[in-house]
């Protein structure tokens, strides 16, 4: 899917989005293309790009990569998909996901702090996202316990309810269903009642 473009073409796309009134440039799952993105950003910034840059990742980033990005990205928006390494291994084939995700979000928070919102628009900071999975596979309670205890002054999170089973989810009976709206609302209520979590 998609098409190959040059660094100059990518830079021009960013400048066009800025001129069209976009509030930020959001790079989704950028890690495997980050060196190319940085080259294009150098061109775009030289040509006047000055809106916030968003690093929107799956949360399985290495600290070494994130440290290389320090001072470049304004907003980090990582997923925190699981709070159980065995579930992450079973359903996504990922080793030590929780350990990686914790280390990643700590580095992101160290760089940009908690999310800052001005006139309803995010300008800088960390926003952790969690996609709620059926049968509480995402272990939301444990994730929120972690979020409450781990960030000075609190943290913003985005709890998402748009999970739909597709592709290989059909191989697992627990994943091959929609989430329960009542249980989702309980998760929202849990977050709302926290003094350390802000919902976005």
- Quote the pTM value: 0.93
Q: Over the stretch 30-82, which tens digit does the pLDDT of each residue have? A: 999 999 999 999 999 999 999 999 999 999 999 999 999 999 999 999 999 99
Write down the H helix ranges in the chain: 7-19, 34-46, 63-68, 85-92, 97-112, 140-150, 181-192
Q: Would you state the pLDDT for residue 152?
A: 85
């Amino acid at each position: 899917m998609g098409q190959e473009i040059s660094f100059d073409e990518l830079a021009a796309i960013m400048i066009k989005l800025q001129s069209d009134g976009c509030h930020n440039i959001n790079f989704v799952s950028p890690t495997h293309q980050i060196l190319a993105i940085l080259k294009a950003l150098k061109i775009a910034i030289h040509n006047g790009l000055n809106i916030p840059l968003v690093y929107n990742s799956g949360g399985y980033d290495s600290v070494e990569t994130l440290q290389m990005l320090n001072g470049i990205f304004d907003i980090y928006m990582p997923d925190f998909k699981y709070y159980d390494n065995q579930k992450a291994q079973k359903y996504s084939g990922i080793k030590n996901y929780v350990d990686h995700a914790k280390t990643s979000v700590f580095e992101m928070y160290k760089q940009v702090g908690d999310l800052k919102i001005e006139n309803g628009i995010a300008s800088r900071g960390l926003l952790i996202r969690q996609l709620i999975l059926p049968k509480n596979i995402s272990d939301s309670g444990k994730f929120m316990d972690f979020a409450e205890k781990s960030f000075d002054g609190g943290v913003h999170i985005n709890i998402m309810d748009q999970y739909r089973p597709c592709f290989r989810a059909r191989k697992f009976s627990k994943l091959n269903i929609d989430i329960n709206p009542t249980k989702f609302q309980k998760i929202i209520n849990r977050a709302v009642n926290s003094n350390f979590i802000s919902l976005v």
